[in-house]
A and B are shown apart, each in its own frame.
Chain A
Amino acid sequence: NAGVTQTPKFQVLKTGQSMTLQCAQDMNHNSMYWYRQDPGMGLRLIYYSASEGTTDKGEVPNGYNVSRLNKREFSLRLESAAPSQTSVYFCASNEGPQPQHFGDGTRLSIL
């Protein structure tokens, strides 16, 4: 009963490096989401995918790209990491109006 699985759990990058955060869900959900969580700011939506083959920008998309590889997988890419992207990243999924289910997060530090 995995739910939403994110990899890696932790990562340290140097400024300018690139990285892809992986997310997979096994609940056959159509919609998937990427959020970032920063102290005192709650969670903010980066990108989302309503269904396989579609992606849309959220509140804070700059510096990120996404790929909805198939119905199960939704990846988040940082092409040139910046210290301002140090954060905890959460992936979530849901179906229709049902609540979102969240992964355990990826803790990313950029030096």
Chain B
Amino acid sequence: GEDVEQSLFLSVREGDSSVINCTYTDSSSTYLYWYKQEPGAGLQLLTYIFSNMDMKQDQRLTVLLNKKDKHLSLRIADTQTGDSAIYFCAESDYGGATNKLIFGTGTLLAVQP
């Protein structure tokens, strides 16, 4: 079945760039997403990319997609302590009425002041 994998933990210093990586197995993925979860909260959509794109930039966030290697990354520039959270990668194969998501296990980003 489909699978999405992420490393469990990343620690960076405030002001540095963070790069969170994700690999997926479903070659028919249509959309790939990054969600952020702060402690005790729900999931907040950060950004998403359509599978025919290589890159998407949104302020401090840059998403890179290597479709050949099925590799997705999220770069956060000038990382702040408020960026400390769990980041989830997810993929979907939109083929009709619903857009079911397959999630990775999440990467805990710890930002040191």
A40 touches B105 (CB 8 A): yes
B99 touches A31 (CB 8 A): yes
**Contacts A42-B105, A51-B97, A94-B99 known; A105 to B45 CB distance under 8 Å?**
no
Contacts of B96 in A (CB 8 A): 50
A101 touches B45 (CB 8 A): yes
Give the contact-size bracket for chain A.
Answer: 20 to 34
Interchain CA distance A11-B95 in the complex, whole Å: 36
Contact flags (1/0) for A17-34 with B, using CB distance below 8 Å?
000000000000011010
Query: CB-nearest residue of chain A relative to B92?
Result: A97
**Contacts A96-B99, A97-B94, A97-B99 known; A42 to B42 CB distance under 8 Å?**
no
A interface, by DSSP: helix, strand, loop or mixed? loop
**Contacts A97-B30, A97-B31, A99-B33 known; A90 to B99 CB distance under 8 Å?**
no
A95 to chain B, nearest CB (A): 9
Contact flags (1/0) for B35-75 with A, using CB distance below 8 Å?
10000011111001000000000000000000000000000
Complex partner residue of A48 from B42, B88, B100, B104, CB under 8 angstroms: B100
Interchain CA distance A48-B92 in the complex, whole Å: 14
Contacts of A96 in B (CB 8 A): 94, 97, 99
**Which residues in window 71-111 of A have CB below 8 A to B?**
90, 92, 94, 96-105
A58 at interface, CB cutoff 8 A: yes
Offer 17 A-B interface pairs, CB within 8 angstroms, sorted by A: A31-B99, A33-B101, A40-B105, A42-B4, A42-B104, A43-B88, A43-B101, A43-B103, A44-B103, A45-B100, A45-B101, A96-B97, A97-B99, A99-B45, A102-B42, A102-B44, A104-B41
